[in-house]
Structure 1
Amino acid sequence: MYGDPALPPDFVSLPYANPDAPRGGTVVFANTGGFDSLNPFIQKGTVPWQSRFWGYESLMGRSWDEPFTLYGLLAESVTVPEDRSWVEFTLRPEAAFSDGSPVTIEDVIWSYETLGTQGHQRYRSFWTQVESIEATGPRSVRLTFASDNRELALIAGMRPILKKAQFEGRDFTTSGLHEIPIGTAPYVVTDYEAGRSVTYTRNPDYWGNDIGFRRGTNNFDEMRIEFFGDGVAAFEAFKAGEISAVREYNAEQWNTAYDFPAVQRGDVVKSEIHDQKPTGMTGLVMNTRKPFFDDWRVRDAMIHAFNFEFINEAITGAAQDRITSYFDNSILAKRPGPATGQVKAYLEAWAGDLPPGALEGYDLPVSDGSERNRANIRVALKQLQDAGYTVEGGKLTGPEGPVTFEILLQQADRETRTAVDMFLPALERLGIDARVTVIDDAQYTERMLNFDFDMTAFRRALSLSPGNEQKLYWGSEGRDTPGSRNMMGLASPAVDGLIDRMLSVTESEDFTAAVRALDRVLTAERLVIPIWRYDVSRIAHVKEMHYPEQLPIYGDGPEYMPQMWWYEE
């Protein structure tokens, strides 16, 4: 995105891969819930989340040891002009689908057009910014862009490539298990039992075994996903030796629950992988499409009422710090106190649209750690009163009568349920009748697509190179677009403008300032009740699973384990 790639054109392997890693072995992972589709590229259906990472490839591949640098994968070369108004890719002659057929320019063009018009919402925003796509040779294709956006040339290299002939005369958007898109990646689905398990097998004839980007990666012969009703059942299966590895997100559990016999014998190893990426945002998101949550003072009251210090002590043993902003833990995070320098200049361009605290500085409230949280409850009640609500007969009442709202959770999300249960008494003291509704994955997905919730659990991972996806996360266009990722329903001219600024600058210093300004606005909007950080990946795994000593700056992620790991007795 900025500067030059860290690796030379003839690099042997990615710096965090082991080029001499042995190949072999079978590993088993656990998912909660179920699945009713194996097409991860459409809006319908519940798909194993790993599917699009394990079975499909794009023209370029990302190095997780650099903020945003791409290297050739299906493409052997890339050409861009200085202004990045277009990009041209040339396919490797050996690039092939898992059925052995070659990847063609027709497949590339069809994939871009189909995903951009009929695919999952995550692919459509990019397509609206493409002016044209055309073959420029037997193995080359050019995309010309309709807007001045320097990141588009990189995003263009990251669209999955599917086989056009597979869907000739068929409806691409049909969900189900009968049609698994053919990909080019090292793994293919070789077996599944609906809702219970999926098996991925390494393709021995995978076309890219010898390219530098793939050397030392994708080393397991077989990977299987088993599905469980909840996290407790999955953990018990891991303890019984039925699962090969689990990620533990709760520090208290990590310190207390992983002392079972297999750990004591050394058959199970506890590994901690640190990173330098933003924390992203995790917590309870409030839907501003609902009248009650449309007022920042109400949202501020909810954050004050949530007794983080007390809840964190009870759930994690206070072992995990609180997330303080969307880009916390990174160089892109907002700085404390009033905005200064270039950050201030960027913010002042939208001074009339900024939430309180964006310019002056905003910090999350801190409680005294006691269960009652009296001081913050008083602040919360004052904010609700300023927003036009009064307590009548012990009930918080507004223009539409007594205040009630629903907190929607998934069955498997036991940790959030525990936090919410501890949050409910504070809401009751404010006179709010809040109810918790727990539903299965399929129902939850459907309701999220239609923004049918008041408050729900939220997790948004962010990178060191935020770009066009920020429009999907918080851009005004997504507020009323079903299936968009703008869960909170934010519509802010300041946010839209800062994203555009972030995408148009050409110097890294200006980019950092624009992201820090965006971080200030998002945090001050008080859209999410933040909980604890996940800046250390805690993985418990069988002793036969290994990973390289050198870690990428992004640490663990869906493309690190299992891609960089190997199996060795």
Structure 2
Amino acid sequence: MRPDRRRFLILSGGLTVSAAFPALPRAENPSGIELHGLSAFGDLKYPRGFSHFDYASPEAPDGGTFNFQPGYWYFNQNVQTFNTLNSFVRRGDAPPRMEYCFDALTVSAWDEPDAVYCHLAESVTISDDRNRFTFRLRPEARWHDGSPVTAHDVAFSYETLKAQGNPELSLPLSVLKEAVAEDEETVTLVFDGTQSAQAILAIAGYPVLNERWYANRPFDAATLEPPLGSGPYRVGKFSAGSYIEYERVDDYWAKDLGTARGLDHFRTIRIEFYKERQAAFEAFKKGAITWRQEFTSKSWATEYGFPAVQDGRVVQRLFPRETRPSMQALAPNQRRAQFRDRRVRDAIALCFDFDWTNKNLFHGAYEKSHSLFAGSDYETSGPPDTDELALIGKLSAEHAIPEGIEGDAYREPPSDGSGRDRRRLRAAIGLLDAAGWKNDGGVLRNSDGETLDAEILIRSSVFERIYNPWVETMRALGINASLRLVDPAQFQERTNSFDFDIAGFALSWTATPTRSGLEGVLGSKAAQEEGSKNWTGTADPLIDAIIAEVGAARTRAEHRTAMRVLDRVLRLRRDWIPNWTSANHRVAYWDMYGFKEPKPDYFWPVERLWWTDRAKAEALGKA
């Protein structure tokens, strides 16, 4: 699965309570004056009044339909079905890209690691104590019905999302004391002083909702009534669970702003929903879907020989992955007693033979991942450097530090590629025995006679061929392992309520991970909040303290040091089982599009960047 720079910064990335540090350099992001943008460490690429982002294409033609299958999604969204259009709560399954119907105070720049620029807002002013951020709204900002977006709408949005929003939205807002509408065009976000300096970067990117529209509608309802928005798209035709179309708003109020100009060329964005990948692939082969990111390596290697590829109507291409840390891992749920012992988690990981799987099932397409921040400067190797050792020493004054922290960063030992590496399996047996699991006639039991159950929850049959050998290996050791295939809605509900043993998880962090983002996946508070992304149930004061250090960083070097220490500790704890990673996106598309190269470094929403090449589309009969 692929849940992962987004339109709303929070989308990939929690909070923790610590002392506040004014990490935004005052020389770059000074208090007391109106600013047009912010970044984590004060460095902005684009000046006030810029005409458009460099990756945008104002000269590109508008029109056409982009029919695709999203490769990532947020909040309660589901790529296999939907039964609600309310995307900002926990309840129900919403279609991806509902966020395009809404604007935010700021938008992120996809070619900068952590910069946000004023969008709904014309400017932002920071108080001297860094706890108050006052946004002055653009007077031309309009809802789709033509009414103005007001400061009261903004205040309502933050108060409502804090009280009733999806945990990915509500948890970071615990540091927001209040949102105050000073007048119709001025709103102040007041923080309680415990926030990190980077918190505003995520929170200022939250969707702004229409207070009037929700006056007689419950915000947390699962509903198929299209909401009133202000963004570049609005909901068009749809059939619940089958398809949805987003129609571009031709009189979109922000279309000539630098933050929007040259984006959103397609008149219609259409998403079709399939419960199984093979049906979706057949639709692509027929041209019913015209853009596809392929996540199944076997299919990429063996199933793209159909006529449209052979005659050049369909293009297969690798695009470089974004320059941001990625996480693809299995989550043993430590709310289940059998997974609380690190030795058990370690033994389960040793039963999965990546080298054999990569050769025999993945066609050599992947690399073994050892980190939750793969492909980034935060992924550690070797022993800690001087700065890391200094931070470890500081943390050790109040917290127990895992044994081995001063040695080389932990890497799972390689296998011999046989699928039954005896050395790894002997190590796994030793770990299980030391953890109190004894072999009783071929079945492992603890002192209470309980079996070691390990049910792997999956939402697609494609994972059966990948995980079946792993299950067989675990069963050979006496673990009561099994696969449980459920439909997409069940998978969403069971992971939301933490009703699983082991489940697979993937995301892309923001290029500069924030304290709020890290806390939402790794922090103690999120472990107690159903619907959060802390699937493993990790609740460790040391992890919380390191995340606080990430948020307190005053420079990029300090941020990198804290992130690397976090990576070292996570590897030693083995809460998550990292599995595999790839340097590229595997993409196939019907040759009817234009696009600018190179792609942005930090986020790649193709549906907002590409456009229909009319001549190519006519040649394919798709104009």
Say whether residues 1:456 and 2:503 are aligned partners. Answer: yes
Equivalent in the alignment of 2:131: 85
1:323-350 Cα distance to aligned partner (Å, 9 max, x none): 221112111222x222221212222334
Q: How many residues align?
A: 562
1:422–1:279 CA distance, 2 compared to 1 (3 A)? farther
CA deviation after TM superposition for structure 1 residue 402, in Å: 4.4
- Whether the 8 Å contact between 2:331 and 2:575 is mirrored in structure 1 is yes
Q: Paired residue for 2:284, among 231, 238, 244?
A: 238
Equivalent in the alignment of 1:211: 257
Equivalent in the alignment of 1:427: 474
Say whether residues 1:394 and 2:442 are aligned partners. Answer: yes
Equivalent in the alignment of 1:292: 338
Equivalent in the alignment of 2:621: none
Say whether residues 1:440 and 2:487 are aligned partners. Answer: yes
Instruction: Give distance in 2, aligned partners of 1:413 and 1:102.
Output: 48
- Whether the 8 Å contact between 1:286 and 1:488 is mirrored in structure 2 is yes
Instruction: Give distance in 2, aligned partners of 1:389 and 1:283.
Output: 25
Say whether residues 1:26 and 2:62 are aligned partners. Answer: no
Instruction: Give distance in 1, aligned partners of 2:525 and 2:116.
Output: 28
Equivalent in the alignment of 1:337: 382
- Counterpart amino acid of residue 541 in structure 2: P
Instruction: Give distance in 1, aligned partners of 2:435 and 2:363.
Output: 35
Q: Paired residue for 1:564, among 609, 617, 623?
A: 609
- Whether the 8 Å contact between 1:22 and 1:219 is mirrored in structure 2 is yes
CA deviation after TM superposition for structure 1 residue 153, in Å: 2.4
- Whether the 8 Å contact between 1:408 and 1:436 is mirrored in structure 2 is yes
1:234–1:312 CA distance, 2 compared to 1 (3 A)? same
Equivalent in the alignment of 1:174: 221
- Whether the 8 Å contact between 1:406 and 1:455 is mirrored in structure 2 is yes
Say whether residues 1:509 and 2:557 are aligned partners. Answer: yes
- Whether the 8 Å contact between 1:325 and 1:523 is mirrored in structure 2 is yes
1:555–1:275 CA distance, 2 compared to 1 (3 A)? farther
CA deviation after TM superposition for structure 1 residue 83, in Å: 5.1
Say whether residues 1:11 and 2:56 are aligned partners. Answer: no
User: For 1:76, what is the secondary structure of its paired residue?
Assistant: strand
- Counterpart amino acid of residue 552 in structure 1: P
Q: Paired residue for 1:530, among 566, 578, 583?
A: 578
Equivalent in the alignment of 1:191: 237
CA deviation after TM superposition for structure 1 residue 251, in Å: 3.8
Say whether residues 1:470 and 2:518 are aligned partners. Answer: yes
**Structure 2 unpaired stretches of 5+:** 1-39, 71-78, 615-623
Instruction: Give distance in 2, aligned partners of 1:266 and 1:371.
Output: 38
Instruction: Give distance in 2, aligned partners of 1:349 and 1:405.
Output: 39
- Counterparts in 2 of 1:82-231, with a 5 A limit? 84-146=130-192, 147-177=194-224, 179-231=225-277
- Whether the 8 Å contact between 1:277 and 1:464 is mirrored in structure 2 is yes
TM-score relative to the length of structure 2: 0.87
Equivalent in the alignment of 1:59: 105
CA deviation after TM superposition for structure 1 residue 272, in Å: 2.1
Instruction: Give distance in 2, aligned partners of 1:358 and 1:383.
Output: 20
Equivalent in the alignment of 2:6: none
CA deviation after TM superposition for structure 1 residue 555, in Å: 4.9
Equivalent in the alignment of 1:42: 89
1:35-63 Cα distance to aligned partner (Å, 9 max, x none): 110110111000112222x2222110001
- Counterpart amino acid of residue 186 in structure 1: P
Equivalent in the alignment of 1:494: 542
Equivalent in the alignment of 1:384: 432
User: For 2:69, what is the secondary structure of its paired residue?
Assistant: strand
CA deviation after TM superposition for structure 1 residue 493, in Å: 1.2
Say whether residues 1:481 and 2:529 are aligned partners. Answer: yes
CA deviation after TM superposition for structure 1 residue 500, in Å: 0.6
CA deviation after TM superposition for structure 1 residue 34, in Å: 1.3
Instruction: Give distance in 1, aligned partners of 2:458 and 2:280.
Output: 16
- Whether the 8 Å contact between 1:475 and 1:486 is mirrored in structure 2 is yes
User: For 1:122, what is the secondary structure of its paired residue?
Assistant: helix
Report the more deviating stretch, 127-136 or 342-351: 342-351
- Counterpart amino acid of residue 212 in structure 1: G
CA deviation after TM superposition for structure 1 residue 279, in Å: 4.3
- Whether the 8 Å contact between 2:301 and 2:363 is mirrored in structure 1 is no
- Whether the 8 Å contact between 1:275 and 1:552 is mirrored in structure 2 is no
CA deviation after TM superposition for structure 1 residue 441, in Å: 1.3
- Whether the 8 Å contact between 1:472 and 1:478 is mirrored in structure 2 is yes
Instruction: Give distance in 1, aligned partners of 2:452 and 2:344.
Output: 13
Instruction: Give distance in 2, aligned partners of 1:279 and 1:341.
Output: 23
Report the more deviating stretch, 246-255 or 360-369: 246-255
TM-score relative to the length of structure 1: 0.95
CA deviation after TM superposition for structure 1 residue 413, in Å: 5.3
1:391–1:410 CA distance, 2 compared to 1 (3 A)? closer
- Whether the 8 Å contact between 2:152 and 2:184 is mirrored in structure 1 is no
Instruction: Give distance in 2, aligned partners of 1:67 and 1:238.
Output: 34
CA deviation after TM superposition for structure 1 residue 406, in Å: 4.1
Instruction: Give distance in 2, aligned partners of 1:413 and 1:16.
Output: 38
User: For 2:608, what is the secondary structure of its paired residue?
Assistant: coil
Say whether residues 1:280 and 2:319 are aligned partners. Answer: no
1:223-244 Cα distance to aligned partner (Å, 9 max, x none): 1111112001000100011101
Instruction: Give distance in 2, aligned partners of 1:383 and 1:400.
Output: 18
- Whether the 8 Å contact between 1:279 and 1:323 is mirrored in structure 2 is no
CA deviation after TM superposition for structure 1 residue 124, in Å: 1.1
User: For 1:88, what is the secondary structure of its paired residue?
Assistant: strand
Instruction: Give distance in 1, aligned partners of 2:129 and 2:371.
Output: 32
Instruction: Give distance in 1, aligned partners of 2:406 and 2:324.
Output: 21
CA deviation after TM superposition for structure 1 residue 523, in Å: 2.1
Instruction: Give distance in 2, aligned partners of 1:535 and 1:272.
Output: 9
1:134-173 Cα distance to aligned partner (Å, 9 max, x none): 2234311111211242012222311100111111132111
CA deviation after TM superposition for structure 1 residue 517, in Å: 0.8
User: For 1:353, what is the secondary structure of its paired residue?
Assistant: coil
Instruction: Give distance in 2, aligned partners of 1:357 and 1:438.
Output: 38
User: For 1:159, what is the secondary structure of its paired residue?
Assistant: coil
Report the more deviating stretch, 73-82 or 348-357: 348-357
User: For 1:457, what is the secondary structure of its paired residue?
Assistant: strand
- Counterpart amino acid of residue 59 in structure 2: D
CA RMSD across the alignment: 1.7
User: For 1:66, what is the secondary structure of its paired residue?
Assistant: coil
User: For 1:456, what is the secondary structure of its paired residue?
Assistant: strand
Instruction: Give distance in 2, aligned partners of 1:459 and 1:407.
Output: 19
CA deviation after TM superposition for structure 1 residue 82, in Å: 5.7
Report the more deviating stretch, 84-93 or 22-31: 22-31
